[in-house]
Amino acid sequence: MYEKIMVPLDGSKLAECVLSHAEELASRCATEEVVLFSVTERIAGYVPVTELSLPAGPLPPPAQPGAGVPVTVGKMQRQAQRYLDRIAKQLQKKGIKVRTEVLLGNPAEEITIYAITRECDLIIIASHGRSGPSRWAYGSVADKVFRASCVPVLMVRAPGCIPGI
């Protein structure tokens, strides 16, 4: 029934509370693949301009002191990949076929788009249990995914959540 299960993780222990559910479903439903998924934000930095490779033609204006060339820094992406690889090894030891994906962008949007375009059968995501002003200020990725996704969503309450809030 659930051939491809998507498990979004953000690096927190709270998010990892879904792993036991993913393991259980994967083993009972003869799941072909569990996709561990993380989304990081794009971080831009600057590399100082030290030497320009000049094309033929007129010379460009001289570089200002402290000028730099914008580049995307992939540090967060590499950290997320190492994190997912560690989790994947744990699941693979239990005989579960696992794939990892790290994308850049808005987490709720990327999760929803990926689940649809890659034909996932189920998304298992943790509810971080935020309530009150914290939830209003930051929103809930899990809630946004639940509302936007056409793919079924299993939302697991994070440990320590207070019932009714």
CA angle in degrees (0–180, nearest 5) for 109-113-115: 120
More confident residue, 18 or 164: 18
Lowest mean per-residue pLDDT among 29-43, 44-58, 77-91, 149-163: 44-58
Average pLDDT (135-147) is 74
Task: Determine contact, residues 147/118, Cβ cutoff 8 Å.
Answer: no
pLDDT at 84: 97
Residue percentage of the chain with pLDDT more than 70: 70
What pTM was estimated for this model as a whole? 0.76
Domain segments of the chain: what residues? 4-157
Strand ranges for 43-83 from DSSP E: 43-48, 68-73
Sign of CA pseudo-dihedral 14, 119, 111, 163: negative
Rounded distance between C-alpha atoms, residue 131 and residue 19, angstroms? 23
Contacts of 66 (CB under 8 A, 6+ apart): 48
Tokens of 107: 């987490």
Strand ranges for the chain from DSSP E: 4-8, 33-40, 43-48, 68-73, 98-104, 122-127, 153-157
pLDDT at 69: 54
Task: Determine contact, residues 77/104, Cβ cutoff 8 Å.
Answer: yes
Q: How many other β-carbons are positioned within 10 Å of the β-carbon of residue 14?
A: 18
Lowest mean per-residue pLDDT among 30-39, 43-52, 78-87, 95-104: 43-52
Query: Residue 57, by phi and psi: left (phi above 0), alpha (psi -120 to 50) or beta?
Result: left
Task: Determine contact, residues 102/77, Cβ cutoff 8 Å.
Answer: yes
* Reported confidence tier of residue 6, pLDDT bands at 50, 70, 90: very high
pLDDT at 123: 98
Q: What CATH architecture does domain 4-157 belong to?
A: 3-Layer(aba) Sandwich (3.40)
pLDDT at 100: 98
pLDDT per residue as tens digits for the range 7-64: 999 998 889 999 999 999 999 998 999 999 999 876 666 556 555 454 555 555 555 5
Does the pLDDT at position 70 exceed 80?
no
More confident residue, 164 or 143: 143
Average pLDDT (79-106) is 96
Q: What is the dihedral of CA 20, 26, 32, 33, to 10 degrees?
A: -20
* Reported confidence tier of residue 135, pLDDT bands at 50, 70, 90: very low
